[in-house]
């Protein structure tokens, strides 16, 4: 079999030698070619998803995953190739109702309208009508409650959608997809903004829905999740299909090799400490308290990498945002490289020597329609000219240096950031954080939603930065983000409960983040 695909023996025939015909695939795409100008986004790609599976689609950014999803959901038409659902040809692209009955996608960026209630979102443009063709809101709410109850989604249909958490929004989007009749759901990076307990609940719901006849295509950069929840995995690389195999039969080293096109590395070599105890500390936090945390005192030395670990709701993100001025503490003090910036002022924190990579690059990290050059230099206008005037020559020269330093794949600095892959977008956010040579670099979930190679590159860059004497604070619940740290402060319910030195074990760190005492 081609493409390194494993040979699977057919199931034995019944004793009477009469074969039971196999159900057709829920979806099958074969020979898919998609071009965008000179760029070939998919080259003879294929995927087959059987009923009741949770099937993973993995690959580095730019491998063609997003393009395939757009074709499987009818948003794009392939230039060549075919797509079938349950053995029947895909509907015409203009027949949106037919597409909704066959497939739905729950994207990493929610499509729920925050200003509407849950019920209004579920039945948008499908309202019940009473006399005089007026909308029967009572009927809409009743149908919404019946739908949510049928699929065990514990959300009040009258709740404003903007008040829902990420996990609840995802469940509502899945329920909405099921209400159209679709039994094939694509989950695009569903765990990117969830903590460990929320991920466990999501996986439990996926298993429950599988038992009720729902099939999933699961897209994730987190390979441990593929092994935890998925039955089959398909790998794309360089716009084409590489392999499809049962997850249980595919060693992790082989999966990584298929994604990258090379043998998997043995693992990140442990870095030596670059802490300079004689230099002024990059960060001093004393008796810091806010709405979701309290009584925090800690230090990040020059050249030291400190992890601030904790599940969602632990307070780690709020502490990191307070350090860089996105929030103002209720009490306590923050010093950056020996200076005390005005609380709640991002410009003051930047002026004191901070660089910052926020949690959500799409909403906080960059302006999508602006160029790479403008995005990478947004925080350093003083370096681009005088009296409020910007020299485009200086801007492009500084941006080009950052592009080369971060290995951003682009034909030039004037390309809009929206045209980049997720990994390269995150590199742009990192480039802006480094544009003014910070003394302190604060990172919140710095590798969320990026591919394996981009993750390794970004984490390697953080090590390089620390080696120059910059202190680094990483607020994350991703173990891979934290492995390079000299030490880790674990937060639980707004307090630092544990400090761990280099060499910690995964189960100890996860237990501390979840508030579990392994010695009890």
User: Does the pLDDT at position 304 exceed 80?
Assistant: yes
Asked if residue 122 and residue 138 are part of one domain, the reply reads: yes
Q: Examine the domain organization and report whether 103 and 142 are in the same domain.
A: no
Task: Tell me, yes or no, whether 325 and 463 share the same domain.
Answer: yes
| Residue pair 335/414 in contact by the 8 Å Cβ criterion | no
Among 119, 185, 127, residue whose Cα is nearest residue 147: 119
- pLDDT-derived band at 128 (thresholds 50, 70, 90) equals low
Alpha-carbon span 322 to 328, nearest angstrom: 6
Q: Output the DSSP codes for 444-467.
A: ESTTTT--HHHHHHHHHHHHHHHH
pLDDT bucket at 224, cuts 50 / 70 / 90:
confident
Residues 105 and 122 in one domain: no
pTM above 0.75, yes or no: no
Same domain, 148 and 244: no
Alpha-carbon gap, residue 285 to 399, rounded angstroms: 33
89 and 82 Cβ atoms separated by less than 8 Å: yes
Q: What six digits make up the tokens of 178?
A: 């099921």
Q: For residue 341, which phi and psi values (nearest 5 degrees)? A: -70, 155
The confidence band for 337, taking pLDDT boundaries of 50, 70 and 90, is: very high
String of DSSP letters for 213-254 = T-EEEEE-S-HHHHHHH-SEEEEEETTEEEEEEEGGGS-HHH
**Cβ–Cβ under 8 Å, residues 409 and 424:** yes
233 and 131 belong to one structural domain: no
What is the span of the domain harbouring residue 81?
Answer: 1-6+42-112+183-266
HSE at residue 374, side-chain half, CA atoms within 13 A, is 11
Residue 339: pLDDT band by 50, 70, 90 thresholds? Answer: very high
- Write the pLDDT tens digit of every residue in 170-188: 888 888 888 887 889 999 8
- Can you tell me whether residue 40 is helix, strand or coil? strand
pLDDT in tens, 439-491: 999 999 998 878 778 888 999 999 999 999 999 999 998 888 999 999 999 99
Q: Quick one: tokens of 513? A: 């983040």
308 domain-assigned: yes
How many structural domains comprise the chain? Answer: 3
Specify whether the CB–CB gap between 49 and 219 falls below 8 A. no
Confidence (pLDDT) at 4: 42
Q: Are the beta carbons of 376 and 435 closer than 8 angstroms?
A: yes
Q: Does some domain include residue 171? A: no
Average pLDDT over the chain, rounded to whole? 85
Same domain, yes or no, for 342 and 449? yes
Q: Show the tokens assigned to 478.
A: 């991703």
Burial letters for 362-376: b for 16+ Cβ neighbours within 10 Å, e otherwise? eeebbeeeebbbbbb
Model confidence at 382: pLDDT above 70 = yes
* Spacing of C-alpha 413 from chain mean position: 25
List the beta bridge partners of residue 256. Answer: none
Kindly report the CATH number assigned to the domain that includes residue 205: 3.40.50.300
**In a shared domain, residues 105 and 246:** yes
Kindly state the average pLDDT of the residues 127-147.
71
pLDDT at 6: 37
305 in the same domain as 255? no
Whether 306 and 336 map to the same domain: the answer is: yes
- Identify whether the C-beta of residue 333 lies closer than 8 Å to the C-beta of residue 346: no
Pull the structure tokens for residue 184.
């094939």
On whether the CB atoms of residues 484 and 459 are closer than 8 A, the answer is yes
| 253-267, 312-326, 365-379: least confident range | 253-267
Residues with Cβ < 8 Å from 212, sequence gap 6 or more? none
Give the domain-ending residue among 266, 292, 324.
Answer: 266
Q: Say whether both 295 and 262 belong to one domain.
A: no
| Residues 305, 347 within the same domain | yes
């Amino acid at each position: 079999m081609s493409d390194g695909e494993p040979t699977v023996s057919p199931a034995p025939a019944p004793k009477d030698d009469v074969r039971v015909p196999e159900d057709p695939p829920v979806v099958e795409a074969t020979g898919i070619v998609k071009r965008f100008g000179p760029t070939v986004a998919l080259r003879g790609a294929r995927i087959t998803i059987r009923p009741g599976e949770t099937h993973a689609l993995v690959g580095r950014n730019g491998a063609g995953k997003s393009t395939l999803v757009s074709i499987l959901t009818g948003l794009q038409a392939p230039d060549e190739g075919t797509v079938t659902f349950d053995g029947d040809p895909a509907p015409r692209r203009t027949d949106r109702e037919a597409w909704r009955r066959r497939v739905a996608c729950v994207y990493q960026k929610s499509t729920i309208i925050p200003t509407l209630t849950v019920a209004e979102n579920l039945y948008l443009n499908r309202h019940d009508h009473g006399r005089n063709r007026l909308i029967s809101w009572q009927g809409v709410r009743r149908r919404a409650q019946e739908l949510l109850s049928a699929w065990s989604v514990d959300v009040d249909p009258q709740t404003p959608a903007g008040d829902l958490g990420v996990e609840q929004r995802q469940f509502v989007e899945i329920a909405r997809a099921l209400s159209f009749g679709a039994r094939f759901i694509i989950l695009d990076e569903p765990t990117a903004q969830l903590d460990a307990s929320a991920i466990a609940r999501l996986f439990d719901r996926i298993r429950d829905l599988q038992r009720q006849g729902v099939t999933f295509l699961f897209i994730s950069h987190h390979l441990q999740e593929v092994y935890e929840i998925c039955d089959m995995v398909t790998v794309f690389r360089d716009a084409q299909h590489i392999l499809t195999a049962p997850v249980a039969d595919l060693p992790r080293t082989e999966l990584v090799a298929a994604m990258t096109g090379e043998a998997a590395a043995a693992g990140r070599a442990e870095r030596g400490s670059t802490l300079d105890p004689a230099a002024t500390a990059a960060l001093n936090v004393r008796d810091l308290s806010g709405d979701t945390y309290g009584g925090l005192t800690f230090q990040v030395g020059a050249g030291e990498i400190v992890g601030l670990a904790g599940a969602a709701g632990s307070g780690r993100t709020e502490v990191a945002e307070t350090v860089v001025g996105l929030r103002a503490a209720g009490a306590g003090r923050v010093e950056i490289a020996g200076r005390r910036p005005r609380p709640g002022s991002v410009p003051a924190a930047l002026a004191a020597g901070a660089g910052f990579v926020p949690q959500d690059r799409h909403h906080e990290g960059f302006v999508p329609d602006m160029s790479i050059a403008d995005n990478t230099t947004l925080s350093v206008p003083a370096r681009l000219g005088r009296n409020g005037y910007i020299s485009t020559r200086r801007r492009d020269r500084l941006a080009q240096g950052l592009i080369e330093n971060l290995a951003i794949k682009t034909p030039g600095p004037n390309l809009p950031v929206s045209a980049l892959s997720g990994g390269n977008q995150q590199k742009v956010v990192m480039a802006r954080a480094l544009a003014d040579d910070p003394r302190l670099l604060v990172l919140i979930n710095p590798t969320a939603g990026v591919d394996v190679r981009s993750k390794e590159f970004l984490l390697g860059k953080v090590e390089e930065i620390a080696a120059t004497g910059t202190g680094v604070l990483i607020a994350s619940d991703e173990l891979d983000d934290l492995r390079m740290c000299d030490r880790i402060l674990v937060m639980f319910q707004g307090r630092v409960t544990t400090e761990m030195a280099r060499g910690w074990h995964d189960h100890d760190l996860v237990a501390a983040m979840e508030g579990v005492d392994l010695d009890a």
